[in-house]
Amino acid sequence: MNRIVPLILAVALFMEQMDSTVIATSLPAIAHDLGVGPITLKLALTAYMVSLAIFIPLSGWMADRFGAKRVFRLAILVFIAGSILCAIASSLFGFVGARFLQGMGGAMMTPVARLVLVRSTQRSELVGAMAMLTIPALVGPLAGPPLGGFITTYFSWHWIFLINVPIGVIGFILSGLFLPEIEASRPPALDGKGFVLSAVAASGTMFGFSVISLPALPPIVGILSVVLGFVCALLYWRHARSHPSPILDLKLFSDSAFRAAAVGGSLFRISIGAVPFLMPLMLQVGFGLTPFQSGMITFAGAIGAITTKVFARRALALMGFRTTLIVAGIAGAVLTFVNGLFTPATPSIVMIAVLVVAGLIRSLFFTSVNALSFADIPDRDASKATSMSAVLQQMSLAFGVATAGSILEIEGWITGTHLELSDFHLAFMLISAITLVSILPFIGMSKDAGATVSGHRRPGERQAEAVGGAQG
């Protein structure tokens, strides 16, 4: 495997993942310039997520039809165009539209990058390659808020988007030079009805979760949107069972490894969505820290995520997917629970140490679960698997934020008071319980599941190989 390939893909994904959260701390400044309220401008965050939900299912079909490399490079250009339009926007409508365009580019960039990696990497090297893509997925959302706050404070919010231009141009050039050519195929005709149903199901659900957790609109709007999303999901399920080539192929779930990775990964990802939402709020509301101070503490999780590539491959070779994911799931739940024990008296170094270890554990989990998703999937179905995985990822992250926000809202409604530190403590503890449930799909897996990817061998097999090697 050409080692520059995962590096190019990782840089592009870091740009996309960071941009999903980078404007969070800059909303007041952007809203002031556009002449609207910060709450109203949160529609820009929602527009980005809705765009992802609509166009991710289309990414697999487009990669097969036009070639994965070509679609990936086109996605970078669309993302750059959206970034420029965000920087020059002078109205709410223009800014929200530009964020929607950015989401279109991001929707194609993430799953197609994973597809390029799967199709250009030997299965025995897939774990190491996936670790490169896991890092930006975890570091980007953590880096976004402090970086956005720093740029807005010392420069201008416009540079949050303009900085994407040189990074994107470099990525476009390098991807043209180094990414392998993956031949386009002749996929079946686009499943138009399935695309509409899946788009409404995913976007309705994500929009509803966003409105419920960040009430820029009345909560009833979010509830009705979620209901519409679930109805369309049910209609899509009926449609996909009879369609010969559905845009999101539910037959993928017949593969036990993919099914476990999808269900367990989605449950664990709820924590990934909830913790970055809860931690900055707790540090600011409960501890009285500034946004920049809280951002610098939460960024510690990125340090742990970066170190995963060093040992993820060895851990999987030693323990296999099943044991690694169970251990990482339990450890992730415990560390999320520990967040609920922090108080203003807790030394910063202790909080940072916990967040570093938590970042390491989460990165190990997702490196493993992403590789497991493709462990037994034939190459011909890789594009379908990338689309399905990306949709589940975005929806579970949105559900994590919504769950955390709903817990805080319910606690405030019950107590009739403003948010207090104890509210955040309870929220972390409830999220940790959901995180723990994520290990259940992996308990029933075979210890040898995905062994061709993890390189795991049972002790007896390793001993036989050693004896055979000595005799040879």
Go through the domains of the chain in sequence order and give each one's CATH number: 1-190 (1.20.1250.20), 252-472 (1.20.1250.20)
Tell me the percentage of the chain whose pLDDT exceeds 70: 87
Neighbouring CB atoms inside 10 A of 72's CB total 27
Tokens of 295: 């951002």
Sequence-separated (6 or more) residues with CB below 8 Å from residue 254: none
Q: What is the mean pLDDT of residues 270-288?
A: 82
C-alpha–C-alpha distance, residues 39 and 216, integer Å: 5
**Mean pLDDT computed over every residue of the chain:** 82
Q: What is the mean pLDDT of residues 403-431?
A: 83
Report the pLDDT value the prediction gives residue 461, as an integer from 0 to 100.
52
- Judge whether residue 290 has pLDDT over 80: no
Q: What is the pLDDT of residues 391-401, one digit of tens each?
A: 888 788 777 87
At 467, is the pLDDT very low, low, confident or very high (cuts 50, 70, 90)?
A: very low
Q: What is the pLDDT of residues 239-270, one digit of tens each?
A: 999 899 898 889 989 888 899 999 999 999 88
- Judge whether residue 470 has pLDDT over 50: no
At 471, is the pLDDT very low, low, confident or very high (cuts 50, 70, 90)?
A: very low
Q: What pTM was computed for the model? A: 0.78
Report the pLDDT value the prediction gives residue 464, as an integer from 0 to 100.
45
Burial class, 259, CB count within 10 angstroms (exposed 0-12 / middle 13-18 / buried 19+): middle
C-alpha–C-alpha distance, residues 35 and 28, integer Å: 10
Neighbouring CB atoms inside 10 A of 346's CB total 12
> What are the helix (H) ranges across 121-255?
126-154, 158-162, 164-178, 192-213, 219-242
C-alpha–C-alpha distance, residues 285 and 282, integer Å: 5
Angle formed by the axes of helices 126-154 and 256-281, nearest 10°:
20
Report the pLDDT value the prediction gives residue 36, as an integer from 0 to 100.
79
For every residue of 86-124, DSSP letters joined together read HHH--SHHHHHHHHHHHHHHHHHHHHHHHHHHHHHS-GG
- Judge whether residue 215 has pLDDT over 70: no
Q: Which amino acid is at 163?
A: I
Coil, helix or strand for 192? helix
Q: What is the pLDDT of residues 148-198, one digit of tens each?
A: 777 877 888 898 889 889 988 988 998 888 888 777 677 788 899 999 999
Place of tokens 């040898």: 448
Q: Give the count of alpha carbons within 13 A of 415, CB side only.
A: 13
216 vs 37, more confident = 37
Q: Could you tell me how many residues make up the chain? A: 472
